[in-house]
Amino acid sequence: MPQLTTDDGVKLHYEEVGSGAPIILVHEFAGDCRSWEPQMRYFGRLYRCIAYNARGFTPSDVPEDVEKYSQARARDDIKAVLDALRIDKAHVMGLSMGGFATLHFGFTYPERALSLVIGGCGYGASPDKRAQFAEETEATARRFEEIGMSKAAMGYALAPSRVQYQNKDPRGWKELADQLAGNSTRGSALTMRGVQKRRPSLFDLVEQMKTITAPTLIMTGDEDWPCLEPALLMKRTISTAGLVVMPNCGHAINLEEPGAFNQHVADFLHAVAEGRWPTRDPRAMVNAILGK
């Protein structure tokens, strides 16, 4: 079972397939490296694909101190993966919790990113939802501790932005729920408190996002309500960003519609490789509705 060690001594499990330009896959809270299987199979034909389990997600280590879990640490663990595998630059693709880490990686370590794919990023970001999100994350962490992941997983997997996946693909959704049920109760609670609850709002990161120069693809489902407004914010703020809104989709877009998701990303990566991914023309941002 391959493992690498981060700069603060935490062992992370990872899986790898293919050769070529590297793609680092950063999973969501309800997933792990297994939730990237449709992308590992598809992109592994042309790229070197590496998916890893975040700290707190076995068989990666589960540090006992909540201070070992943070948005900054999730960001730096991407860099730790690159460093351990001796990769200079990579395409970084993240969903939800992994999307936040990918965004932060993009403006903190711009020299290490070939491109960024930021999917399902935005939970708790809207200013009017900050207090509610903090309350819900703490309540969720307590629920994990009180009844364990084997019981709590089903409720989490039936969130308003996950029922779309259940309706379209009951078998796929059940697989995700079963995998979530097997996650570490302690690691899940610590991740919820250390990373999810304490991460900064995207609306407070506008100046940092403006510095991103790597080609960026933002992706969201049109029924993933907490992510729609933040997706527009990122599109407006990052001058190299394109935005894909997938119709009739919830949160786990890479699993819910893997064919469409993979095609969007493949087209993006091809444009990046050919030097054809644009930086936005400043004339598109003037405060006018009609031309002269």
pLDDT digits 0-9 by tens, 33-66: 999 999 999 999 999 999 999 999 999 999 999 9
Give per-residue pLDDT as tens, 19-38.
Answer: 999 999 999 999 999 999 99
CA dist., res. 212 & res. 241, Å (int): 9
Mean pLDDT of 83-110: 98
Mean pLDDT of 6-17: 98
Q: Residue 210 above 90 pLDDT? A: yes
CA dist., res. 216 & res. 264, Å (int): 12
Within 13 Å and on the Cβ side, how many CA atoms surround 274?
9
Tell me the pTM.
0.96
Neighbours of 198 (CB within 10 A): 14
Within 13 Å and on the Cβ side, how many CA atoms surround 150?
0
Give per-residue pLDDT as tens, 267-281.
Answer: 999 999 999 999 999
- Which pLDDT score is estimated for 289? 80
Give the percent of the chain with pLDDT over 90: 93
Give per-residue pLDDT as tens, 236-272.
Answer: 999 999 999 999 999 999 999 999 999 999 999 999 9
Residues in Cβ contact with 111 at an 8 Å cutoff, skipping those fewer than 6 apart = 89
**Quick one: the chain helix, strand, coil %, rounded to 5?**
50, 15, 35
Contact status, residue 89 vs residue 68, Cβ threshold 8 Å:
no
- Which pLDDT score is estimated for 248? 98
- Which pLDDT score is estimated for 181? 96
Q: Is 285 exposed, middle or buried (0-12, 13-18, 19+ CB in 10 A)?
A: exposed
- Which pLDDT score is estimated for 130? 85
Give the percent of the chain with pLDDT over 70: 100
- pLDDT band of 126, cuts 50, 70, 90: confident
Strand ranges (DSSP E) for the chain?
Answer: 3-5, 11-17, 22-26, 48-52, 90-95, 113-119, 216-221, 241-246
Give per-residue pLDDT as tens, 92-102.
Answer: 999 999 999 99
- Which pLDDT score is estimated for 288? 83
Neighbours of 20 (CB within 10 A): 12
Mean pLDDT of 165-185: 96
- pLDDT band of 125, cuts 50, 70, 90: confident
